[in-house]
Every structure is written in structure tokens, then in C-alpha cells.
Amino acid sequence: MWKGRFQQNTAETVQQFSQSISFDWRLYPFDIQGSIAHAAALKRAGLLSGEELELIRGGLESIKKEIDDGTFTFRPELEDIHMNVESALTAKVGPTGAKLHTARSRNDQVALDLRLYLRHETDEVRGRIRGLQKALVDFAGRNREVIVPGYTHLQRAQPVLLAHHILAYVEMFERDMQRFADAKKRLNQMPLGSGAIAGSTIELDRQYVADLLGFPGITHNSMDAVSDRDFVAEILFAIALTGVHLSRLSEDLILFASAEFHFIQISDAYTTGSSLMPQKKNPDICELTRGKTGRLIGNLVTMLTILKGLPMTYNRDLQEDKEVLFDSIDQVKAVLEVYRGMIPEIAVDARQMREAAQDPGLLATDLADYLVRKNVPFRRAHEIIGKLFALSQQQSRGFSQMTLEELRHFAPEFGPEVFDMLRLERAIESRTAIGAPSPKNVAAELEAWNAILQNEP
């Protein structure tokens, strides 16, 4: 392909090995957007006439339409999206097209394209997270009175409201929202004008370009600007952690939908059957999501590994940033979209959940707290209730089925009012501290989340 210092054509195997057009073609709208702004800066610097600027702008817009319509032919021998667009532009408008790359390198060009792309995709991902949050809050609101066991170590621990359990994921996804917004602030810096490494002797008005492209800031070190992919790693981390949260939600849904729990049923539209066993209804969407999380984490590790050994400044290794980035964005958007549709179609078995929450062990801590309020030291109360629970298990009797005399055998501080402590509703209503799952608290949280989500598109 290249002329100049090279006297041989690039080997065909090398062309295939080094090309990136097979995946970086998707940067085309941002590459063209950046090129139009760059052309405007060349015009402002007196390097293009008004007529030439309009010729370039029209040619680039025509190329964009061809790509939009699927009629553009990408040429692998031109390596990447930048050279494909530039070559097509020159073919359309003649020698004027060859002026476009003045004071610009593919190094700062791709840095710009990636930032423009991620600025757009960050908003896309955040929009899908918001959609899932809305689905979860609606689901929690419809099931606000349902009591379910809370678990630690996958063992029944204490009773909670199902809505409180679901809102925990809304909180997780809100942190993801904040991480993407925070990462966007750092990636939203304009690198064009950094050249290959040291800018250019042809000085363009970088602030003008930044204003045209809507960047609030400009990079201040040309060497860092062309080699920086921190913003890619940050977005991949935010995606990977979102994937971890989706995977944890998936695991809960998989367990709750099992015959052993039988707390929920996932809609037929979001499950699959077995090729052999006719009775099966498998939570494949949840399992695929759990599996894709490993892929998202792997993409982050790939990016960090690419970066860790690079000397200053640009190195071709950085071409490998795009496939992992595109893949992670595609996967997380797909999962968020399918979950937004799946959550509203989950049916809850409130009776089964309540029956599980009647496990007397779930109120053991409440009894210990009762004794503490009777001036029994907590460690002593803990030991007493532990022995009482052992008897309960031995005799297959709940605490409420024991007599007051039996309870007093373990601690004389027990009074007749203790049996009121053993009502499930009373146990839930007593959890009134900020962040605890009392009905009043959960209702307030639902109201707050609905207000947040209704104020956004």
C-alpha cells in the first residue's frame, strides 16, 4: 500500500494480519464527525478555502450516507477506517481530499474517534441501566408486602421484604450509573492536534475544534494524548462491574426459580426447554448473563495487559483495544436490554416465600436483642438463644410453640410479651433504622426511586 520510503508492497499476509477495518469500521460516524471539524480548523488557519471546506464536508457526508445505507465498499488493504474514508474522499473530490490530513496523524485521529464513540456509548449504556432500574423498582413496588428470608452464606438469616432485596440491586446499578458518568468526565477531553507524538509545526486552533465537537476540555500533553487509553480501561472496568452486578442478580433469580426454592417463575418468553427432558424450564438468560460476565472481566484484563508494557508513546499494540471494547459494550447493552424485558414478567410465589420466612431461626437475633433490652449482655444473650435454637431444632418446634416456662428455663428475663416479638410482621416492622427493611422505610425508598426515575427519560 505505502509508497515513499518503502520499495516493496506489503505482503498480503501482513495486510490481513495488521488490518483493523473488519472491526473499526464502526467508528465511521465519529471519524467523519472529527474530520469535518478538523477541516473547519484548516479553513480557519487559512489552509483550506471556503470552497474546499464545503467540498470536503459534502464528500464526507456522502461517504457517511453510503456507509449508513450499506453501499460503501471497505478495502482491507487500506487497513483502517481512517484510510478508507480518506481514500474514498480523495476519489470523490480529487486533490482537495488529500489536504484533509494536514497537521493530523492517525494517532491523534483514532484517539479522537474513540473518545467520541465512548462519549456516545456511555450515554447508551447508562440509558439501559436506567431502564433496568425502572423495571426493578416497578417489580419491587408490586411486591412491596412480600416477606422473604434474607440470606448470608446462602443460609437463611433474617426476614426481609422482597422489595428491600430487589432495591439492593437498584442501589448497585446506581453506583454503576455514577461510575460511567464519572469516567465520561475524564474521557471527554479533545486530543486532536497532538499529531503523531509532538503536535505539528502547523498550528491549528484546538479550542475551536473542541468547541465544534462539544468537548469541555483539551488534552495538555501530546505524548500522553496519543497513547492514553486509561479512559478505555475505565469504561471496561465500569462495564465489568456492571456485569458482576448483573451476574449476582442472575444467581439470585436462578436459585429462586429452582424447585428447591420455588419463590419465582420466570416467563416462558425468557426461558428455554431441554432437548431431551420435556419437563425442563431452564433460566438460560440468567445463565448466559452469568457466563458473559467472565467475558467482560476478561476484556478488562486484556486491555490492562496491553497497556502495562507499552513505552511512550503510540504503539500498534493499541489497535487491540477496539475489539475488546466493542465486544464489552455490545454484550452489556444486550444483557441490560433483555433484563429490562424479563424482570416485569417474573411471577412471585408470595405464599412460598412467607412459608420459608416462617423458619424460627430467622428470629433468633430478634430474641437476642430482646434479652439485651432486658440488660442481658449481648454475648450472654447470643449463647442463650443458641442453646434455645438447638432445642428447637431437636424437637422440631418453633420458638412460638414453646411455653413461657420453657423459655425461662434458659433465661428468667423472658416475659409474656416475648411472644409478640415472634410475629413475622412485628419482626419486619421493628427494623426501622435508616437502611433497614421496615415497610415504612421500603415505602419511602420506593417513593424516592420513583421520583428519581420519573424525572429522567
Q: Using CA atoms, how far apart are residues 400 and 360, in angstroms rounded to an integer?
A: 8
**Closest residue by Cα to residue 285 from 337, 335, 340:** 335
Residues 6+ positions from 207 with CB-CB distance below 8 Å: 218
Residues 6+ positions from 212 with CB-CB distance below 8 Å: 37, 40, 41
User: Do the Cβ atoms of 335 and 243 come closer than 8 Å?
Assistant: yes
Instruction: Please identify which residue in the block is written with the cell numbers 507499552.
Output: 310
For strand 217-218 and strand 189-190, is the pairing parallel, antiparallel, or unpaired?
parallel
Q: Using CA atoms, how far apart are residues 151 and 344, in angstroms rounded to an integer?
A: 23
Residues labelled as active-site residues: 153, 274
Amino acid at 79: E
Our CA angle for 107, 113, 115, nearest 5°, is 105
Q: Would you tell me how many other CB atoms lie within 10 Å of the CB of residue 193?
A: 25
Q: Using CA atoms, how far apart are residues 1 and 10, in angstroms rounded to an integer?
A: 6
Amino acid at 170: V
Q: Using CA atoms, how far apart are residues 49 and 176, in angstroms rounded to an integer?
A: 47
Q: How far is CA 70 from the centre of its chain?
A: 30
- Is 149 in a helix, a strand, or coil? strand
Range list of β-strands (E), 98-219: 147-152, 155-161, 189-190, 217-218
348 DSSP β-pair partners: 264
Q: Using CA atoms, how far apart are residues 228 and 230, in angstroms rounded to an integer?
A: 6
- Is 420 in a helix, a strand, or coil? helix
User: Do the Cβ atoms of 440 and 163 come closer than 8 Å?
Assistant: no
Ordered DSSP codes for 123-137: HHHHHHHHHHHHHHH
Instruction: Please identify which residue in the block is written with the cell numbers 479522537.
Output: 112
